Amino acid sequence: MDKKIAVIRGDGIGPEIVGEALQVLDDVAKLYGHEFTYDDVDMGGCAIDKWGDPLPQEMLDKCVASDSVLLGAVGGPKWNDVPGPMRPEKGLLRLRAGMGVYSNNRPAKIWPQLAAASPLSPAIVEKGIDFIIVRELIGGIYFGKHETVEENGELKAIDELTYTESEIERIGRIGFETARKRNKQLCSVEKSNVLDSSRLWKKVMHKLAEEYPDVILTDMLVDNCAMQIVKNPSQFDVIVTENMFGDILSDEASMITGSIGMIPSSSLGSSSCGLYEPIHGSAPDIAGTDIANPIGTILSAAMMLKYSFDMPKEADCIEKAVSAVLDAGYRTADIMPTDVEEAQKCVKIGCKEMGKQIRLHLRKEK
Ligand code: IPM
Ligand code: MG
């Protein structure tokens, strides 16, 4: 199959990790007889520097016209003083909205090889960590009115949070469908003891539940959920939640699996053209030093193959190669065990070498 992939290398470690993922995709294409072509797209800080805009319209057009988008990471201290609407992150938000990708899927799954890297106690980790956060991605407080006004001689900042029934319903359906394909347990997370938008969220979820009698729906307040994720993560199968709660909980969930550097994500809307990105940021402090972990991006490319290109075998091959490399003891700095004895059994490698090892194993896993 021929597929056109829009590639956003972005800022910080973005270019390094995306470079490794593209080489993995090239090898997969050769092994399975596909052709992937890449269309480079400027977004984020680098686009501000080059075009004075974090996402120029023609860049968004390229993404929308592609078969899918692979993104590294955007942002960094260099653009900290740029005004709100021109910030690198704004490019990402405009991309998500412009592509209409309302459903962000963030798996929190522990790799058995990395159990020792989890900050949770072994007794909790042993019970298993394998859940998915379905995060609403193009609504809520991220997309409400943002303004700072002067009132009574001081500044006042306003961020508006709205959700309509239809916005909640479409993400709710993804939550139920995802749970249906797994262990049929959906936890809807909100703050209905305080927020109107959460009360509507809860109401819509329960109405939808009537259409999915095979799925068990539970409700959880977001603060309690943050606690339960570290106390007893094995209770979760699928969590569905609004944009900002999903942002926060997915960072927490990633950390208990060992490292945020391992976690991929997919964002989809009503077409098969998706946006695939690791959930970590641009880590400007380690950019250019070859110590970043490219696995989150490589696994995001695997998700692209599976969810947008209908290539499950190819995706599986990448996942198995990653697992084999971890079995062989190769670790980037972020996933090195903290225990000295455990660390001696591992080989610390950089970003490029990690990409290379994964590519070497692709052939064996096919
Ligand atoms: C994420 C990031 C983004 C978000 C930022 C960079 C705007 O934290 O993808 O989780 O908040 O959605
Ligand atoms: Mg985040």
Distance of CA 314 to the CA centre of its chain: 20
Question: pLDDT averaged over the chain?
Answer: 96
Helix, strand, coil percentages in the chain from 3-state DSSP, rounded to 5: 50, 20, 30
**Is the Cα dihedral 113, 117, 118, 120 positive or negative?**
positive
Establish whether residue 92 lines the binding site of ligand 1, counting it when its CB lies within 6 angstroms of any ligand atom: yes
- The answer to whether residue 365 scores a pLDDT higher than 90 is no
Q: What mean pLDDT is predicted for residues 297-302? A: 98
Q: What mean pLDDT is predicted for residues 91-105? A: 97
CA of 355 to the centre of ligand 2 (A): 24
- The answer to whether residue 180 scores a pLDDT higher than 90 is yes
Q: Which residues contact 301 (CB under 8 A, 6 or more apart)?
A: 21, 22, 24, 25, 70, 276, 318
- The answer to whether residue 27 scores a pLDDT higher than 90 is yes
For the annotated catalytic residues, the residue numbers are 142, 191, 223, 247, 251
Mutate to test the pocket of ligand 1, among 71, 79, 82, 92 (most ligand atoms within 8 A of CB): 92
Q: Which residues contact 143 (CB under 8 A, 6 or more apart)?
A: 93, 97, 243
**Measured between alpha carbons, how far is 51 from 326 in angstroms, rounded to an integer?**
41
Q: What is the pLDDT of residue 113?
A: 92
pLDDT level of residue 201 (50, 70, 90 thresholds): very high
Q: What is the pLDDT of residue 149?
A: 97
CA of 279 to the centre of ligand 1 (A): 8
Q: What mean pLDDT is predicted for residues 115-123? A: 90
**Contact (CB, 8 A) for 149 and 158:** yes
Q: What mean pLDDT is predicted for residues 216-241? A: 98
Q: What is the pLDDT of residue 85?
A: 83
Tens-place pLDDT, residues 305-364: 999 999 999 999 999 999 999 999 999 999 998 889 989 999 999 999 999 999 999 988
Please state, in angstroms and as integers, the Cα–Cα distance from residue 323 to each residue in 183, 317, 331, following that order.
23, 10, 11
Tens-place pLDDT, residues 35-83: 999 999 999 999 999 999 999 999 999 999 999 999 999 999 999 998 8
Q: What mean pLDDT is predicted for residues 12-36? A: 98
Please state, in angstroms and as integers, the Cα–Cα distance from residue 55 to each residue in 80, 84, 131, 146, following that order.
17, 14, 33, 19
- The answer to whether residue 366 scores a pLDDT higher than 90 is no
**Contact (CB, 8 A) for 266 and 276:** yes
Q: What is the pLDDT of residue 63?
A: 98
Q: What is the pLDDT of residue 338?
A: 82
Pairing of strands 185-190, 238-241: parallel
pTM value is 0.94
Q: What is the pLDDT of residue 198?
A: 98
**Closest residue (by CA) to atom 12 of ligand 1?**
247
From the CA of 265, give the closest atom in ligand 1.
9
CA of 247 to the centre of ligand 1 (A): 6
Q: What is the pLDDT of residue 84?
A: 80
**Contact (CB, 8 A) for 94 and 86:** no
Tens-place pLDDT, residues 258-296: 889 999 999 999 999 999 999 999 999 999 999 999 999
